Amino acid sequence: MKKTRIFKIIDEKDEQLLEAAEIIRNGGTVAFPTETVYGLGANALSAEAVDQIYAAKGRPSDNPLIVHITTKEDLEGLVEHAPFEEALMDAFWPGAITLIFKSKGTVAARVTPGLDTLAVRMPSHVVAKKLIELSGVPIAAPSANLSGKPSPTQGHHVIDDLTGRVDGIVIYEESEVGLESTILDLTQTPPMLLRPGGITVEAIESVIGKIQIDPALEKKMSDGIQPRAPGMKYTHYSPEADVYVILGSVENMISKINSMYKESNQTVGIMCTDESKASYPYDHVLSLGSRDNLEEIASNLFKTLRKFDEIGVDIVLAEGYDTLGMGKAIMNRLNKAAGYQVIKV
């Protein structure tokens, strides 16, 4: 067990961030807020530091990490140039997109086990930026959850998962985007989407034209297609409850969910929208927000999955979404949470 220091900060000027940065510089692990989800950071240049991330999360050691930086100059020392990098960085950095480059091998090999590429992101969150600056090193940081749990979007999720397993936890506001970053591989031509996230395919294509989509994203893993982003083969985001996605017109989803609810003799939770909530007159019904506001739906998804676990339901019946815009990332995470148990209606 580690002694975990909790830094509840009031803003990015809070002096406690100096202590958190010192922990990183000394090779320790610190969880911190970003605009996507909370991350668990360590010095990306130190193998011993990076090893502690895998240990704290119980993360499979072949699942590579994203390195976080604050300036374009930081990028220079880490990776080779790639097509479209300037346009993408100008349009979306700092922000919720991770870009994959050919690595210069500067970071510890444990960051990208067995790969010659490196995933890099420049977060926009003021606290994340300040912590990276104060640390003075690139920070390797996956989501700050125990491996297999939904990514944390609020400080208490991190405290629940990682107390005793990391050296520090910086607590600030809720993560705004609420889903992990988009991952775009610039070593492929045209660039390939490996994970949908906070920056949509439509937004990327409006800047650099048509991109490729990793075929594994469109299929179930059981179809035998290996995803290119190594970590994508693991069932992330799994709550304790058995999740089913019901997908179809809103009217059909409501009627199917109602009939499934009535037929079940287990404790059932329903994950719906503001528009449909009144159609489910039961105990454990949680809305993600308005169906007209997919950013809101995305930002509430993980914390709502965790809430169902807190309530202790056996089954979650979740309404599905069209895969346009943010809908693509929402459905990707929902499908994974459900282990691809999707009922089309």
| Cβ closest to Mg ion, residue 151 vs residue 273 | 151
DSSP character string of 85-108:
HHHHHHHH-SSSEEEEEEB-S-S-
CA distance 187 to 192: 8
CA distance 326 to 331: 9
| Cβ closest to ligand AMP, residue 53 vs residue 243 | 53
Q: Which of 34, 52, 143, 276 binds Mg ion (CB under 5 A)?
A: 143
CA distance 6 to 160: 12
Token reading at 30: 């610190």
| Cβ closest to ligand AMP, residue 218 vs residue 251 | 218
Token reading at 233: 């083969």
Binding segment (CB under 6 A) for ligand AMP, from list 24-32, 60-68, 73-81, 243-251: 60-68
Size, binding site for ligand AMP by CB under 6 A: 18
Tell me how far CA of residue 321 lies from CA of 80, 221, 249, 292, 300, in angstroms. 38, 20, 9, 11, 14
CA distance 173 to 299: 13
Sheet holding 285-287, edge to edge: 285-287, 268-272, 315-319, 242-247, 342-344
Binding segment (CB under 6 A) for ligand AMP, from list 10-18, 225-233, 258-266, 331-339: 225-233
Strand partners, 268: 315
Q: What's at 109, amino acid-wise?
A: A
CA distance 159 to 13: 22
When asked if residue 45 is in the footprint of ligand AMP (CB under 6 A), the reply is: no
Q: From ligand AMP, Mg ion, none, which one binds at residue 115 (CB under 5 to 8 Å depending on kind)?
A: ligand AMP
When asked if residue 42 is in the footprint of ligand AMP (CB under 6 A), the reply is: no
When asked if residue 161 is in the footprint of ligand AMP (CB under 6 A), the reply is: no
Q: From Mg ion, ligand AMP, none, which one binds at residue 230 (CB under 5 to 8 Å depending on kind)?
A: ligand AMP
Token reading at 234: 């693991």
Token reading at 28: 């320790």
Of 91-110, binders to ligand AMP (CB under 6 A) are 100
When asked if residue 34 is in the footprint of ligand AMP (CB under 6 A), the reply is: no
The least distance separating ligand AMP from the CB of residue 137, rounded to whole angstroms, comes to 18
278 alpha-carbon distance from chain centroid? 30
Token reading at 215: 């075929």
When asked if residue 34 is in the footprint of Mg ion (CB under 5 A), the reply is: no
| Cβ closest to ligand AMP, residue 146 vs residue 203 | 146
CA distance 326 to 311: 27
The least distance separating ligand AMP from the CB of residue 140, rounded to whole angstroms, comes to 9
| Cβ closest to ligand AMP, residue 235 vs residue 264 | 235
When asked if residue 231 is in the footprint of ligand AMP (CB under 6 A), the reply is: yes
Q: Which of 180, 214, 296, 319 binds ligand AMP (CB under 6 A)?
A: 180
CA distance 307 to 336: 17
When asked if residue 175 is in the footprint of Mg ion (CB under 5 A), the reply is: no
Q: From ligand AMP, Mg ion, none, which one binds at residue 49 (CB under 5 to 8 Å depending on kind)?
A: none
Binding residues for Mg ion, rule: CB under 5 A, are: 142-143
Binding residues for ligand AMP, rule: CB under 6 A, are: 63-64, 66, 100, 112, 115, 117-119, 142-143, 180, 183, 194, 229-232
